[in-house]
Structure 1
Amino acid sequence: MGAAATVVAAGITTVTMLSASAAVSTSAWYDFVNANSGKCVDAAAASTANGTAVQQYTCNGTGAQQWQLRTAADSGYYVIVNSNGAQPAIDVDGPSTSSGALIHLWSDGGWSSQEWQPVQEGNGDYHFVNHYSGLCLDTPSASTADGVQLQQYTCNGTGAQSFALNVVGGSTGSPSPTASPTGSPNPGNPDLGPNVKIFTPSMSSSSIQSTINSIYNSQQSNQFGTNRYAMLFMPGSYNVDVPVGFYTQVAGLGASPDNVSLTGGGIHVDAAWSGGNATQNFWRDVENVSDTPSSGTLEWAVSQADPFRRVDVHGNVTLDDYTSGNNSSNWSSGGYIGDSRISGQINSGTQQQYLTQDTSMGSWAGSNWNMVFVGDNGAPGQSFPTYTTVSSSPTMREKPYLYVDSSGLYNVMVPSLRTNAVGPDWTGGSTAGTSIPISQFYIVKSGDTATTINNALASGLNLLFTPGVYQLSAPLNITRPDTVVLGLGLATLMPQNGVAAITTADVNGIDIAGLLISAGTSNSQTLVQIGPAGSSASHASDPIELQDVFFRVGGDVAGRATQSLVVNSANTIGDDNWIWRADHGNDNTYGWTTNPAANGLVVNGANVTMYGLAVEHYQQYQTLWNGNGGRTYFYQSEMPYDVPNNGSWTPGGENGYPSYKVSNSVTSHQAWGLGVYCYFSANSSVVADRAIEVPSSGSSFHDMVTVSLGGTGTISHVINNSGGSVNSGNTVTYLTSGP
């Protein structure tokens, strides 16, 4: 490529500029920067449709501004294709031979109106001569404005017809010869940072195993550390042992889980680090793989914030630690399996509560307090207090996932919205949805700030967070409909100086997934706010969704946040959300006055649906629901352990705060499968009058359980004044319906 110099285009993207001696490459991707305006050649609205205007626009590093020159039939001419979608070509409308004819995109048809001759100028820039008309690619009237559609015009040697070609990627499907610029990833080899380990079938099993073991050894017991990792497997087969520790994601890069086959020891999680007790096995993730465990059983001994998604298990699954030799206190406490297929039996073992959703299973065995099934094939029938079984998920969009297509290019698949969903969304063939090329994502890496990330959002990019902890001096402000924000390796956002981590506009289809939100030491009023206060638009056809988004106040640092998640936008869907005020952690990071937090979840929007909701240890209402039409499928909540006395913990006129509070103004609300527990370890005489409090009419709650853990503390009623007490003399109470 000859000599090169690094420059910054439009203050956004670091690129490699071709020298005067360089020739065009048919394997590289370029942006075309106009010499007169300093702006990039762009596909309007990132569209790939025939007739899309080819315009100039402020350079932003998106796929709409990435182009490749492909050799045409006649020597010296090239077809210029866009990186998005079906990669349409730059074409002259008509086709016409007239000056002023507009330039648009059209599917590559082999026409001479789509063929261009790049002619290099003395300064290294190029002008482009159309094969059909003999006219040059031109910016009308030498305009510098955004959105001006390009034309063809008599070649005149002006800056309006001169373009710098800046390399923004390497050979399609192979590693780039130069580093891909931040925010403008090479579609065949994006830079995902040092903590993403990508394995290929051509690598030796021993080298893959060495990397897996190294990560696990550092993360097995690293409950409140700052390291984050993602181990991604390219399509193929692997005979490896994959133990999964804290802050570690294991995922396949196939379009289907069955594109990545793990055999041998395969995936597993035990609790050997804590003597077999898995009640603190948090923050890990397995997705989009097929696993055939050599033992016949996949051990998944976890509690909250441990999603198990899009996994095809050829064998059995057990949900507690049965390998560490502890059979008396090897408890596990909560978890989530979704969009998966297990050919054999799932055994819950010591699991105290669990949600399985949109999953096919051979059979299920075991129960304790709160086993819930929503939209599953093969689940046990409704039989409370043993099982809560709901036939389908009424409205559901599965989590987006990163994959590599048949051309070796990276994309993110956003599955389609399903109604009355039953079973996985991938077993009948390919997953229905929208595939977004990686070129339309800003890849967030170490060193990025709220400013750089918000600049990317403002330019129309989605976000892919690489593993790490990101300190934010301002909220990430998501305003564009259907923006995808996806985290790898439990990427963690920590707001500073009392700001929120994320705020959104009241728009359709925003999808936030795979993030841990951890409060900073200055109190944030809200950590994440979905829609501004007073939001009223309906999003029923394209809801906002939060999948595997977890919240933490304290534990790592002495965090503070009044409310963790506030949902103002209607029709929002929550899918596997653990919202936690820490009851343990690093020294001096938790305690009644050390990590104060009033509410975990506050819902103000109408018709909000929550699946797999866990909210724990907040100092007032764990969940406060103010919007009509709400639905919850599975709820798990521990009241705060550290209540000093009833005088410190009362809304007035009653003892204690109920965990789940539906406001008196609400006229309709439904919930299935709820468990609320107390363990008032600071003062066992503390009493909560009720676990759940709702209006006397318009609410319908099904299958509830309360537990006094070890008989430490009292909950007097399950819902309102219905249901028996739990205390030292009676530790578990069930109620089939209420109020």
Structure 2
Amino acid sequence: MRTRRRNPVVVSIFAAITTAGALAFPGATPSAWAATTPDFGPNVKIFDPKTPVTDINAFLQKISAEPEFSTNRQAVYFKPGVYGNAAGQNDPATATGIVNSEVGYYTSIAGLGTSPTSVTINGALHSEPRQNADGSSDGLTNFYRSLDNLSINPIQRPVGADAERAKPEGVAPAHTMRWATSQASSLRRVDIQGNLDLNGAYGATLFGTTMADSRISGTVNSGGDAGPGQAQYYVRDSQIGSWRGGSANLVFSGVKGAPASDFTGRGITTLPTTPTSRPAPFLTVNGDSYAVFVPKARTNASGVNWATDSTAGTSIPISRFHIAKPGTDTAATINKALASGKHLILTPGIYRLNGPITVTRADTVVMGMGYATLAPTGGQAAIEVSDVKGVVISSLLVDASPGTDVLVKIGTGTANNIGDATNPTTLSDLFVRIGGAQAGSSKISLQVNQSKVILDDNWLWRADHGTGVGWTSNTSDTGLVVNGTDVTALGLFVEHHQKNQVIWNGERGRTVFYQSEFPYDPPNQAAWMDGTKEGYASYKVASGVTTHAATGTAIYTLFLDSTFAGAPVHAWTSIEAPQRASVRFTAMTTAVIAFGGGIRNIVGTTGAAVDATQPNQVVPGFTASARLAAHPR
């Protein structure tokens, strides 16, 4: 059961602080593609421009009502062309013939063109907040949905039961589409030909996700100027008309049109470029010839790059992929295909495998559709990558079973300098869940032993609600352990693990945007101690590391169980790191979301405390805020 989050205490540091001072894909041309329509199974729907809009809407609305822990998975694709009628774009109330549906759980919707502009949707593919009994709205559990590689001329109207409400959430101004979501709901290669509302029609509380390689011609509204809104958001390698709203932690890297950094008012951190990035792979079609385009890495990127020629990446014909189906493929059949030289597509569904998917060949692509979910049995790992470079893993959800040591392992740990900055192993939209959907436990969710890896929008979540949730049930020590050198995390979300959320042992690591919550459920302080220290730091850089950098960190508490027990717990600090000038943290936020307890320090023993007994405190040199109200997590 989720709890209501009330007014938090927030302390933000928005200034550069050092802990020493203040604290070869073998490419193929289109002519080599096999001219055949693949069998993607029953959970993939492909529309073409001749499909009646009524049929499109009926299907999308049918699949939009899945519950949070549904076992159904869906992927929807649009072939190149124009869908829907643009006639009502200036007055959505009069619009007819538009593509208009909410997007529900475990649904990915994408265009099949080589550019987002190849597919135009006149209408809206939107996500709306829920309305609560007290009149508030939130999208705090609006997880697991995505849009990719399409253009939208936004014309939005309420649909379904929402349309019958006195105050429909789906109402939107002209030229505006809403995407009110929290974690694991990325926007990639999306071209919004108007405005994008990340908040809600009446204001809503949400907890942020990632937008990448996208263009928004109008205004993006995140809310939060007065009342609820997006608590955090990460946008990279994109272009926007303007941004409206403030938050605890909005981070922009390589975004043309991004707002200027505003460390004391709006909680904004803006970097002119993204140090290194690699866009996620995506499916394309030319006639009936399907391929997967795998972009190359970019260095110091800024703005969108939708090119698909040989300078931008490699097209791999679908004939070179093993197309797996749940209930049919086993770990053995998948690994046999990978060993034979095939890449891997996991069609939508849940794969209950008796062993890990093992990647032993450099440059292998493993791509999921429709939140394909790996649920290994018997405490087995989900994915293990050998000491090979250039592996691309994208769009997968992993559910732990009881007794897992490491769910996803990149590199064996015996040769951690293997890696290539020009062809980095990349994990995009990889989400790991401990409990919630099923009983599960793990020592480590993701372990990176390889160098120069890019972590791109990863949410590593020890569930705080759902099946098998409890302090002694869905046990998990740590979300992420990085042993490799020169690893970069872009949009890192790690929550509720029972010791450190992140442990960074490798040299020259970089994080751009980090969102984390301590576990909600320590029963008392004695049960949550790091030796003699109260609790564990969320983000820990090992004492032997000489160089590290992180910017845009937001770390929160909501100590639920200990509060009800009458003795709220504390964390001694949010970040633990060696005191060296080359270990740098910038733009840090800490907060007590609700209930009791707090955080004693921000970095090590430096920085002001946040505590439930001191609401809305203002400390000289710091900023207090109460923007993160009513967050039922």
Instruction: Specify if TM > 0.5.
Output: yes
Find 2:102's aligned residue among 239, 243, 252. Answer: 243
User: What does residue 132 of structure 1 align with?
Assistant: none
Using the TM superposition, give the Cα deviation of residue 541 of structure 1 relative to its aligned residue in structure 2, in angstroms: 2.4
Query: How many angstroms apart in 2 are the aligned matches of 1:532 and 1:428?
Result: 33
Conserved? CA contact 1:442–1:464, under 8 Å? yes
Q: Matches of residues 445-594 of structure 1 in structure 2 within 5 Å?
A: 445-446=325-326, 447-520=328-401, 522-534=402-414, 535-586=416-467, 589-594=468-473
By how many angstroms is 1:86 displaced? 5.9
Q: Which of 279, 292, 309 in structure 1 is aligned with 2:140?
A: 279
Matches within 5 A, 1:726-737: 726-728=610-612, 729-730=614-615
1:661–1:533 distance in 2 versus 1, CA, 3 Å: same
State the structure with bigger RCO (CA 8 A, min sep 6), 1 or 2: 2
Counterpart in the other structure of 1:213: 61
Provide TM-score, normalisation by structure 1.
0.72
Contact map agreement 1:707 1:733 (CA 8 A) in 2: no
Q: Distance in 2 between matches of 1:448 and 1:719?
A: 47
1:677/1:706 contact within 8 Å kept = yes
Q: How many Å apart are 1:537 and its aligned residue? A: 2.0
SS of residue matched to 2:428: strand
Q: Distance in 2 between matches of 1:469 and 1:437?
A: 25
Please tell me the residue identity of whatever aligns with 2:293. M
Return the match for 1:354 from 214, 233, 249.
233
Q: Which secondary structure does the structure 1 equivalent of 2:82 belong to?
A: strand
For the 8 Å contact 1:724–1:733, the answer to whether it is kept is no
- RMSD across aligned positions (CA): 2.0
Q: Secondary structure at the match of 2:600?
A: strand
With over 3 angstroms needed to count, the CA separation of the structure-2 counterparts of 1:577 and 1:417, relative to structure 1, is same
Distance in structure 1 (CA, Å) of the matches to 2:316 and 2:222: 37
Whether the 8 Å CA contact 1:615–1:622 is kept in 2: the answer is yes
SS at 1:212 equivalent? helix
Q: How does 1:260-271 map to 2 (within 5 A)?
A: 260-264=119-123, 266-271=124-129
- Would you say 1:198 and 2:46 are equivalent positions? yes
Match of 1:693 in 2: 576
Aligned with 1:358: secondary structure?
A: strand
**Residue matched to 1:384:** 263
Aligned partners of 2:360, 2:332: CA distance in 1, in Å? Answer: 15
Alignment-derived partner of residue 85 in structure 1: 29
Residue type of the alignment partner of 2:493? A
1:362, 1:457 → 2: CA distance?
A: 43
In structure 2, what residue type is equivalent to 1:388?
T
Partner of 2:92 in structure 1? none
Structure 1 residues 467, 364: closer, same or farther in 2, change over 3 A?
same
Give runs of aligned pairs for residues 31-430 of structure 1, distance below 5 A.
Answer: 85=29, 187-217=35-65, 219=66, 222-239=67-84, 240-264=99-123, 266-272=124-130, 276-294=137-155, 295-322=174-201, 327=203, 330-349=204-223, 350-385=229-264, 386-405=267-286, 407-426=287-306
Structure 1 CA distance, aligned partners of 2:25 and 2:552? 44
Assess if the C-alpha contact under 8 Å between 1:450 and 1:475 holds in 2: yes
Q: Which moved more, 1:532-541 or 1:348-357?
A: 532-541
What stretches of structure 1 of length at least 5 have no aligned partner? 1-44, 49-83, 89-171, 173-185
Q: Classify 1:431/1:341 alpha carbon distance in 2 versus 1 (closer, same or farther; 3 Å).
A: farther
Q: Which residue of 2 aligns with 1:93?
A: none
- Contact kept in structure 1, 2:293 and 2:308, CA below 8 Å: no
**Cα distance, 1:272 vs structure 2:** 2.9
Distance in 1, Cα, partners of 2:119 & 2:495: 36
What are the superposed Cα offsets for residues 243-280 of structure 1, whole Å, 9 maximum, x if unpaired? 1000000100000001110012x111002376631011
Provide closer, same or farther for how the CA distance between residues 476 and 428 of structure 1 changes in structure 2, counting only shifts above 3 A.
Answer: closer
Quickly say closer, same or farther: Cα 1:422–1:263, change in 2 above 3 A: same
Could you tell me how far apart the structure 1 residues matched to 2:616 and 2:293 are? Answer: 46
- Taking structure 1 as reference, are residues 47 and 389 closer, same or farther at Cα in structure 2, changes over 3 Å only? closer
Post-superposition shift, 1:719? 0.7
Q: Percent identity?
A: 44
> How many angstroms does 1:428 deviate by?
10
Counterparts of 1:688 and 1:410, CA distance in 2: 51
Distance change >3 Å, CA 622–CA 732, structure 1 → 2: farther
Q: 1:428, 1:439 → 2: CA distance?
A: 19
Whole-angstrom distance in 2 between the partners of 1:276 and 1:299: 14
Structure 1 residue 713 and structure 2 residue 597: aligned? yes
Greater displacement, 529-538 / 273-282: 273-282
**C-alpha deviation, 1:711, in angstroms:** 4.9
The 8 Å contact of residues 507 and 539 in structure 1, kept in 2 or not, is answered as no
Does the 8 Å CA contact 2:296/2:423 hold for their aligned counterparts? no
Equivalent residue for 2:19? none
Per-residue CA shift, 1:342-391, capped at 9, x if unaligned?
A: 00011111000110111100001111200110110000112214210111
Amino acid at match of 2:236: Q
For 2:308 and 2:453, how far apart are their aligned partners in 1? 27
- CA deviation after TM superposition for structure 1 residue 305, in Å: 0.4
Corresponding residue of 2:20: none
Q: TM-score if structure 2 supplies the norm length?
A: 0.84
Gaps of 5+ in 2: 1-23, 85-98, 156-173, 224-228, 624-633
